């Protein structure tokens, strides 16, 4: 029936748009809830105390390192000038970690390589 | 002649929008004595230690315009955002030797002078312009009231302390003249104008 054909196309487009809009939006919400207080909305951090992430080699680098950083947190390091410890975000689900990684890569890398939930799950398992 | 009146009218309308900034009031409980004298609230006497382990008292701040806040270095919530805004003030008013920033820690157990020294060093701020003070916890928490700020020790709060992220402007005579929410850049923009006004008016 013609009505069914258009209905199927409409719902397909609807879910495509909803999925496309949903993934980076949750990443942004996660960033706002968990990261903004320290790394700031524009990713600039507080130089000398909290690293900037808008030009961070960690954001640009392998997703495995970023996944482990989110999962385990980090003590202040000499390699990246910082003062306070980064907390662990192991309470986030693998879906949330994936969305957060993809959001920060989309925001602050020029050629973002997005990751899948399966890749993040494997990375998190390897760094436990 | 017609154009003259149009231009004159336009000039009047435009300049009528340019209002002089109103003087900043003194903030706090203003009392009147039985004899009709007015007593303006002042920051109480204090004596704390700065990041170089030197004593800083209220006497050292008399004669200076100060911008104060209450924070702690381990703060995972609002403090980094407030410090970021404070750095805007530090940079904007770097030509005013009579202006000092004063950050009181509310967690003196962890924020020793050595830790505050490292913190200030990492921020790369001049200790002559920005002091970080520590001392007895009860006194640090008590003085926050004079600075119209809230400080509460709360084990359920992030970092163990609940506090307002206010930036407070104090004049040369230890009167509070303005404050703002230090997490809001637009409020800090407005606060900057208050700071400028006070500096332009001799700090009083």
Q: What share of chain B is helix, strand, coil (3-state, %, to 5)?
A: 35, 25, 40
- For chain B, say whether A41 makes contact (Cβ under 8 Å): no
Query: B122–A83: do the CB atoms touch at under 8 Å?
Result: yes
pTM as predicted = 0.84
Q: What is the pLDDT of residue A7?
A: 78
When mean pLDDT is compared across A63-67, A115-119, B155-159, B182-186, the lowest value belongs to B155-159
When mean pLDDT is compared across A58-62, A110-114, B18-22, B133-137, the lowest value belongs to B18-22
Which of B74, B83, B84, B117 to mutate to probe the A interface, most A CBs <10 Å? B84
Q: Compute the distance between CA of residue B15 and CA of residue B60 in angstroms, rounded to an integer.
A: 42
Range B155-159 contact pairs with CB under 8 angstroms and sequence separation of 24 or more: B157/B77, B158/B75, B158/B76, B158/B77, B159/B72, B159/B74, B159/B75, B159/B76, B159/B77, B159/B107
Give which of B130, B145, B157, B154 is closest to B52, Cα–Cα: B130
Per-residue pLDDT band for A80 (boundaries 50, 70, 90) equals: low
- Measured between CB atoms, which of B81, B84, B119 is closest to A83? B119
CA torsion through residues A117, A119, A122, A126, sign = negative
Which of A35, A40, A48 to mutate to probe the B interface, most B CBs <10 Å? A48
Q: What is the pLDDT along chain B (204 residues), one digit of tens a residue?
A: 777 777 767 666 666 555 667 899 999 888 898 998 888 999 999 999 999 999 999 999 999 999 999 999 999 889 999 999 999 999 999 999 999 999 999 999 999 999 999 999 999 999 999 999 999 999 999 999 999 999 999 999 988 999 999 999 999 999 999 999 999 999 999 999 999 999 999 999
Per-residue pLDDT band for A75 (boundaries 50, 70, 90) equals: confident
Q: What is the pLDDT of residue B52?
A: 96
Q: What residue ranges in chain B does DSSP mark as E strands?
A: 31-32, 38-39, 47-49, 55-57, 65-71, 99-105, 130-133, 151-153, 161-163, 166-170, 176-181
* Statement: residue A127 has pLDDT above 80: yes
């Amino acid at each position: 029936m013609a009505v069914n054909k258009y209905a199927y196309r409409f719902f397909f487009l609807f879910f495509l748009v909803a999925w496309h809009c949903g993934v980076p939006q949750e990443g942004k919400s996660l960033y706002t809830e968990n990261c903004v207080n320290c790394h700031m909305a524009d990713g600039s951090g507080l130089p000398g105390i909290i690293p900037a992430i808008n030009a961070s080699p960690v954001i640009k680098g392998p997703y495995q390192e970023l996944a482990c950083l989110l999962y385990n947190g980090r003590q202040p390091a000499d390699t990246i000038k910082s003062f306070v410890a980064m907390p662990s975000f192991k309470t986030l689900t693998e879906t949330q970690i994936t969305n957060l990684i993809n959001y920060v890569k989309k925001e602050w890398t020029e050629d973002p390589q997005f990751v899948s939930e399966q890749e993040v799950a494997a990375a998190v398992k390897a760094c436990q | 002649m017609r154009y003259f009146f149009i231009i004159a009218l336009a000039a009047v309308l435009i300049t009528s929008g340019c209002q002089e900034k109103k003087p900043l009031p003194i903030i706090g409980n203003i009392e009147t004595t039985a004899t009709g004298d007015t007593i303006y609230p002042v920051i109480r006497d204090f004596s704390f230690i700065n990041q170089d382990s030197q004593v800083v008292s209220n006497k050292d701040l008399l004669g200076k315009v100060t911008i104060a806040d209450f924070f702690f270095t381990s703060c995972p919530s609002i403090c980094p955002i407030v410090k970021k805004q404070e750095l805007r003030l530090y940079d904007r008013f770097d030509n005013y030797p009579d202006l000092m920033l004063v950050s009181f820690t509310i967690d003196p157990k962890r924020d020793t002078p050595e830790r505050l020294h490292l913190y200030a060093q990492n921020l790369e701020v001049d200790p002559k312009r920005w002091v970080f003070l520590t001392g007895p916890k009860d006194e640090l928490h008590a003085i926050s009231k004079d600075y119209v700020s809230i400080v509460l020790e709360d084990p359920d709060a992030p970092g163990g302390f609940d506090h307002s992220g206010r930036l407070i402007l104090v004049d040369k005579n230890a009167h509070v003249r303005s404050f703002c929410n230090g997490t809001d850049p637009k409020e800090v923009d407005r606060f900057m104008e208050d700071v400028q006004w006070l500096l332009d008016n001799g700090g009083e």
